[in-house]
Chain A
Amino acid sequence: MIPWLSPMLEQLFVEAALETLTMVAGAAAIAILLGLPLALLLHATDRGGLAQNGLVNRPLGLLINAVRSTPFIILMVAIVPFTRLVAGTSIGTGAAIVPLSLAATAFIARLFETAFREVDRGVVEAARAMGATRPQILWKVLVPEAMPGLIAAVTVTLVSLVGYSAMAGAVGGGGLGDLGIRFGYQRFMPEVMASVVAVLILFVQGLQSLGDWLVRRVRRR
């Protein structure tokens, strides 16, 4: 498959790629599931929102900012007890998904919130005038109208997760980044490093193109 790598390295490479995929996909799925309600909550409780409430909005905003401003490598070791509680262990690919999800949730919640803010207020007002309930406004107006922005946010998050997942080696999470450090850097095997970087570039390009294509498909403007 990759001619300049030995069969054994090739085997390691495939495993590492699958680990990266697992971490990125798992963390992204959890981040979307948790980030969407968080972003809706942030948006609704914001000033002038559907359920304006500073007592919810400000602490939530602070918490999200705190998670976002903690360097990922530190966040990962800082929440080890929490990781152990959730995943049963603090090492391995599965365990790495916990801090990755946390970082990605905070990240995507902000991006989603921005996407909701882009939705024309007039459309929300029209829905209110029609007698829509708040859940109806959230799910039938805000989410569909913000869809291009939401998809773009997922794309950016996926790309960031690819980067974060390279640090997961620190907790035994494996993945391509870890392979690159251990073999490419520590064992002076530049061909491994180059292969890792090349595959990651292709992977990110693919994600971005897919995301852009989806955004174009759902954008009706």
Chain B
Amino acid sequence: MPVSSAPPDPAIRLRGLKRHFPGRGGVTTRALDGVSLDVAAGEIFGIVGRSGAGKSTLIRCVNLLERPDSGAVTVLGQDLLALDGRALRERRRGIGMVFQHFNLLSSRTVAQNVAFPLEIAGVPAAERAPRVAEALALVGLAEKAEAYPAQLSGGQKQRVGIARALAPRPRILLCDEATSALDPETTQEILALIRRLRDQLDLTVLLITHEMAVVKEICDRVAVMERGQVIEEGRVFDVFTQPRHPTTRRFIADTIGHSIPPGTVARLPGPREGEERRLLQVLFAGPNSTRSAISEASRRFGVDLNIISGRIDEIAGEPFGLMALAAYGPAAQIEATVAWFGELGLVVTPVEPQAEAA
């Protein structure tokens, strides 16, 4: 980390990336349609999207496995597109990459696989051995050094993949769906490992995934991609708790359940004579997230608040609660309640049950 007070340059800066693939019958696929992103040094940045959204092409642009048609790729202050073949290969050695299907050399032992990038970089054999041992120790696989990849489980293979990526001591780690071929338990282990390595080695991690759960687990910031474009970007907590784009909402619905179960609203009693019933979604986050705001509001404003769905969870280490409330009372009192929630820093959004059910 630089000691200057100015904001440090991003570790990865992508500007206006475009990449089109000619398809059959003259139809071009716009894998990247003007993507700009900054990944700060030391953060874990997630790119999430469905298959075909362009995220795979995007991560391959960071080490130029894929060359963008236009745009700029700056990694650790270096414009990669300006480099010749040899200089680019040098730079790639400072960018580790981990793959969905591990991509280990089946003809080599674990230790030989981890030594491979060092061998390529021309590190003398005598210096390789201690660095291989060091990398294997980092991922907790020292005892498997002499095994062949075929003898390992999926999680162990990915640990080897990570050790191999880290052996040349890169500053940046790219993870291409690194946990998508693993079972849920192993996924948790690998994610915890990536997070620990980031902390320990001060790495910058860019990962792509189609699973929001992965983002929720380890990312600091996230970008959501659709049809070659970034449609939403921000701190993971903000994106999860206040998604703006419908696609993002659908993505996180499975993970943290933003929707009200259908049928719930139909069973609710109607408002009393001269009063109103309003459905509100309240997000408890920030300094007042632990205040007993619902019972307090009920006493202060004389409204009845019926909790119809709710979830309390933690994202990126920050607690939050998400409640759907049916508020009963005179219109003015409901307005006052909403305003007071706002003053507390809670985020209130009216719920359209029909739209949610659709």
Chain A interface residues toward B at CB < 8 A: 120, 122-123, 125-133, 136, 140-141, 144-145, 147, 218, 220-221
Instruction: Please determine whether A122 and B99 come into contact, CB atoms closer than 8 angstroms.
Output: yes
Instruction: Please determine whether B150 and A220 come into contact, CB atoms closer than 8 angstroms.
Output: yes
Q: In the assembled complex, how far is the CB of residue B351 from the closest CB belonging to chain A, in whole angstroms? A: 46
Apart from A122-B99, A145-B107, what 13 extra A-B contacts exist at CB < 8 Å?
A122-B101, A122-B103, A123-B103, A123-B105, A127-B120, A129-B92, A130-B116, A130-B120, A131-B93, A131-B120, A140-B116, A220-B107, A220-B150
Residues of B within 8 Å of A130, CB to CB, are 92-93, 97, 116-117, 120-121, 168
Smallest CB gap from B168: residue in A: A130
Q: In the assembled complex, how far is the CB of residue B88 from the closest CB belonging to chain A, in whole angstroms? A: 8
B89 at the interface (CB under 8 A from A): yes
Instruction: Please determine whether B97 and A129 come into contact, CB atoms closer than 8 angstroms.
Output: yes
Q: In the assembled complex, how far is the CB of residue A33 from the closest CB belonging to chain B, in whole angstroms? A: 22
Chain B interface residues toward A at CB < 8 A: 63, 65, 88-93, 95, 97, 99, 101, 103-108, 116-117, 119-121, 148-150, 168, 174
Among B90, B103, B104, B168, contact of A125 (Cβ-Cβ < 8 Å): B103
Q: In the assembled complex, how far is the CB of residue B107 from the closest CB belonging to chain A, in whole angstroms? A: 4
Q: How far is the CA of A141 from the CA of B92 in the complex (A)?
A: 17
A131 touching B106 in the complex, CB below 8 Å, given contacts A122-B99, A126-B99: no
A131 touching B149 in the complex, CB below 8 Å, given contacts A220-B106, A221-B106: no
Residues of B within 8 Å of A141, CB to CB, are 105
Instruction: Please determine whether B105 and A145 come into contact, CB atoms closer than 8 angstroms.
Output: yes
Q: In the assembled complex, how far is the CB of residue A139 from the closest CB belonging to chain B, in whole angstroms? A: 11
Residues of B within 8 Å of A129, CB to CB, are 63, 65, 92, 95, 97, 174
Q: How far is the CA of A80 from the CA of B183 in the complex (A)?
A: 64
Q: What are 26 A-to-B residue pairs whose CB atoms are below 8 Å? A: A120-B101, A120-B103, A123-B103, A123-B105, A125-B65, A125-B103, A126-B97, A128-B92, A129-B63, A129-B92, A129-B174, A130-B92, A130-B97, A130-B116, A131-B88, A131-B89, A131-B92, A131-B120, A132-B89, A136-B120, A144-B105, A145-B106, A220-B106, A220-B148, A220-B149, A221-B150
Smallest CB gap from B148: residue in A: A220
Q: In the assembled complex, how far is the CB of residue B77 from the closest CB belonging to chain A, in whole angstroms? A: 18
Q: In the assembled complex, how far is the CB of residue A77 from the closest CB belonging to chain B, in whole angstroms? A: 43
Q: How far is the CA of A130 from the CA of B99 in the complex (A)?
A: 12
Q: In the assembled complex, how far is the CB of residue B100 from the closest CB belonging to chain A, in whole angstroms? A: 8
Instruction: Please determine whether A140 and B97 come into contact, CB atoms closer than 8 angstroms.
Output: no
Q: How far is the CA of A221 from the CA of B108 in the complex (A)?
A: 11
Residues of A within 8 Å of B108, CB to CB, are 144
Q: How far is the CA of A8 from the CA of B195 in the complex (A)?
A: 81
Residues of B within 8 Å of A144, CB to CB, are 105, 107-108
Q: How far is the CA of A105 from the CA of B6 in the complex (A)?
A: 65
Instruction: Please determine whether A131 and B107 come into contact, CB atoms closer than 8 angstroms.
Output: no
Residues of A within 8 Å of B103, CB to CB, are 120, 122-123, 125-126
Residues of B within 8 Å of A123, CB to CB, are 103-105
Q: How far is the CA of A122 from the CA of B101 in the complex (A)?
A: 8
Smallest CB gap from A124: residue in B: B103
Residues of A within 8 Å of B63, CB to CB, are 129
Q: How far is the CA of A127 from the CA of B120 in the complex (A)?
A: 9
Max chain A C-beta neighbours (<10 A), residue from B63, B103, B107, B121? B107
Q: How far is the CA of A140 from the CA of B89 in the complex (A)?
A: 16
Q: How far is the CA of A47 from the CA of B159 in the complex (A)?
A: 33
Q: How far is the CA of A167 from the CA of B106 in the complex (A)?
A: 41
Residues of A within 8 Å of B90, CB to CB, are 131
Instruction: Please determine whether A218 and B93 come into contact, CB atoms closer than 8 angstroms.
Output: no
10 interchain residue pairs of minimum CB distance? A131-B92, A131-B89, A126-B103, A122-B103, A129-B97, A130-B117, A220-B148, A131-B93, A144-B107, A132-B120
Q: How far is the CA of A128 from the CA of B64 in the complex (A)?
A: 10
Smallest CB gap from B167: residue in A: A130
Residues of B within 8 Å of A147, CB to CB, are 107
Residues of B within 8 Å of A132, CB to CB, are 89, 120
Residues of B within 8 Å of A122, CB to CB, are 99, 101, 103
Instruction: Please determine whether A218 and B116 come into contact, CB atoms closer than 8 angstroms.
Output: no
Q: How far is the CA of A133 from the CA of B119 in the complex (A)?
A: 12
Instruction: Please determine whether B107 and A140 come into contact, CB atoms closer than 8 angstroms.
Output: no
Q: How far is the CA of A141 from the CA of B90 in the complex (A)?
A: 19
Residues of A within 8 Å of B106, CB to CB, are 145, 220-221
Residues of A within 8 Å of B120, CB to CB, are 127, 130-133, 136, 140
A140 touching B119 in the complex, CB below 8 Å, given contacts A122-B103, A145-B107, A220-B106: yes
Q: How far is the CA of A221 from the CA of B95 in the complex (A)?
A: 29
Instruction: Please determine whether A131 and B121 come into contact, CB atoms closer than 8 angstroms.
Output: yes
Q: How far is the CA of A130 from the CA of B97 in the complex (A)?
A: 8
Q: How far is the CA of A141 from the CA of B120 in the complex (A)?
A: 11
